[in-house]
Amino acid sequence: MTRRILVTSALPYANGPIHIGHLVEYIQTDIWVRFQKLRGNRCIYVCADDTHGTAIMIRARKEGRSEEALIAAMSESHQRDFDGFGIQFDNYGSTHSDENRTICAKIWQSLRDKDLIAERPVEQLYDPEAETFLADRFVRGTCPKCGRTDQPGDNCVCGHTYSPTDLIDPKSTLSGATPILRESTHLFVELEKLHGFLADWIDTSDALQSETANYLKGHFLANELRDWDISRPGPYFGFEIPDSPGNFWYVWFDAPIGYIASTQQWCDSNGEKLEDWWNSDSCEIHHFIGKDITYFHTLFWPGMLESAGFRLPTKVRIHGFLTVAGEKMSKSTGTLVSAETYLKYSNPSYLRYFYATKLTPRVEDLDLGIDEFTEKVNSDLVGKVVNLASRVGKFASTTGLSKQYPDDGGLFAAAAKAGDEIAAAYEACDFSRAMRRIMELADAANPFVEHAKPWEMKKDAERQGELQDVCTVALNLFRQLAIYIAPVLPDLAKQCGDLLGSPITSWDQSKTPLVGIPVAKFQRMMDRVQSKDLKKMIDESKELAAADAAQDNASPTNDAAFNDSDQPLKDEPIADEISIDEFAKVDLRVARVVSAEHVPEANKLLKLTLSLGGDERRQVFAGIKAAYDPEKLVGRLVVMAANLKPRKMRFGLSEGMVTAAGPGGEEVFILGVDEGAQPGQRVH
């Protein structure tokens, strides 16, 4: 039965270009959508630019143009970059559209009708020079706890969280002015009134990955849900709230509604009805998002949809962040590469494939190592997949394909059978497993050509029939690979279709070989990655970052607050010496890992529940995510510092520390304990 599926990716913010970190999500989504279409399902992919907020208003002011002109230029840039990477939307809209304004008003009225809106005065920092209220990210100052200077408005690197009004000597990043406190009326969604519905949805819907559901239940639903501040006073670039003049919907209210508005635009262009997609139980809705916006898409958004009578998500598919060589992407090192810069130096198919080899159904960060990137592309794509076609392509244009499919020792039949397994991996968003299985088929197919030696058959006039058979087998095995990898490499699928005169349009084409047809002249399909090109790409990214920084520093209204932070912490001096007696105060105890899970909103942390013997349990957050699979930690004995003062983190309370050593990243090693040790036993 054909499925009807609506798919979205998070809306890119219209304040900057697309970079390779953003592309993880859009490539992941595009692969899944292409797979669904190849399987014959009716799958629609909609997206839009997220266009509202203070950042847009301030940037437009700085650049001397209207907000509308800014977001129009950015939309053109974003769509050009997406197209360059083969990302195909059925509709790409904007949150600054009539459709979005209308649907926002409808949902807002539903919230009003259900008595979910509260109004109360709020004191907020206000920039008297920029003449705007300041969000947390537009304020920096001295941490009230540790005294570090130049810290953002919500948390310090020391781990302390606070309100921007708590900062010592706060400064506006928009103008450098000292902000003042000013009171304004804000409107709130009383999310606690939807607590029961949200808890039930998360428990019963199967919409979330298990680690995400557990995280929400443990960190939010276990307590009273806080009210959601959903308005901002003017001046603000956005939609004014119809029944609250002078107040505007906060960007996070109208942004997800942009999914529905973009669908409305598609429906209007295609003679469809919106209710068939957003109000129908026969339609699936799949959201692809990054882990940093989990909270909005799994609590606020379902609450809004339920209140307004819209279809709830079938799946919220959450992915981790991209790191480069184990580190956060950085402008200063050239690893925060824009989509535009990448396309100057490398084939987009390479990045699509590399991401596919890393993406799993779990909320895990993925790392892009330049050496690994080069090796995977050159070995897998060039050395295995394309190699299968290139070694016979130049002969096949002369011979064509045999009238009957030759005996290949069962290779084609085995690959056809593997199609169901590969399809299941795609469906589950386990692209990594799908790529491994496809490469196993390539590994099985290539020895056939190697042993047959068609280049020798070409020289013998009496072996032309054998040569035709070898070409027939090799090109049909290549075609199977091209079909299976078509969601990832649509360009290669098209090249295969052009070569054999039979476009790849269906997954089931992998089950039947092509025979008795001519073969076009072989055209080079893919080149090897050159390290020198990647070096040029990184060097140019560094130069562009330096130029941007120089321009920002010369500007009277520095907008560095809008950019991704790439400044490493300054080297800190070694702490004061302590005596052996002071060190002896650390109470090291054996503990057993009872449970371990990912922290969806943290790059490096795992949440561990440790047993110290008897009924004593401790919750500890450990920065070992890159080094350890949480499932493999369960049952393991570790050494913990048991008498550390509990530390409140934004993910929860950490009640100790697991001891480990190493330089960091994947090279972190938990201190070993003899299995004969008992939980709670002191370590000397």
Nearest CA among 457, 462, 480 for reference residue 395: 457
d(CA 572, CA 437): 48
Find out whether 471 is annotated in a ligand binding site. no
CB atoms within 10 A of CB 334: 21
Q: Which residue has the tokens 């309100």?
A: 163
Q: CA torsion, points 162, 187, 124, 15, in degrees to nearest 10? A: 80
**Nearest to 684, CA basis, from 568, 567, 583, 564:** 583
Record the tokens describing residue 218, joined without a space: 């443990």
**519 SS3 class:** coil
Whole-angstrom Cα distance, residue 418 to residue 412?
10
Choose among 561, 564, 540, 566: nearest CA to 62: 561
CA-to-CA distance for 438 and 484, rounded, in angstroms? 7
Radius of gyration of the chain (CA): 28
SS3 46: strand
596 bridge partner residues = 608
Q: How far is CA 404 from CA 333, 400, 507, 557, in A?
A: 57, 12, 22, 72
168: which strand partners? 142
Is 146 annotated in a binding site? The answer is: yes
DSSP three-state, residue 577: coil
Q: What is the distance between the alpha carbons of residues 581 and 495, in angstroms, rounded to a whole number?
A: 72
Q: Cite the beta strand spans of 258-361 per DSSP E.
A: 283-290, 315-319, 322-324, 327-328
Tokens of 496: 């295969």
Which phi and psi angles does 605 have, rounded to 5°? -95, 145
Sequence-distant contacts of 368-372: CB under 8 A, at least 24 apart: 368/20, 368/322, 368/323, 368/324, 368/325, 369/324, 369/325, 369/326, 370/324, 370/325, 370/531, 370/534
First and final C-alpha spacing in the chain: 65
Identify which of 186, 185, 221 has the alpha carbon closest to the alpha carbon of residue 302.
221
Establish whether 156 is an annotated binding residue: yes
Q: Which are the contacts of 532, defined by CB distance < 8 A and separation ≥ 6?
A: none
Whole-angstrom distance, CA of residue 177 vs CA of residue 71? 27
The answer to the question of whether 217 is labelled as a binding residue is no
> Residue 394 corresponds to which amino acid?
K
The whole-angstrom separation of Cα 655 and Cα 649 is 11
Distance CA 429, CA 465 (A): 43
496 is in an annotated binding site: no
244, burial (CB in 10 Å: exposed 0-12, middle 13-18, buried 19+): middle
Q: Are 139 and 156 in contact (CB under 8 A)?
A: no
Peptide bond into 235 cis (omega under 30): yes
Binding-site residue set for Zn(2+): 143, 146, 156, 158
Binding-site residue set: 143, 146, 156, 158, 331
Binding-site residue set for ATP: 331
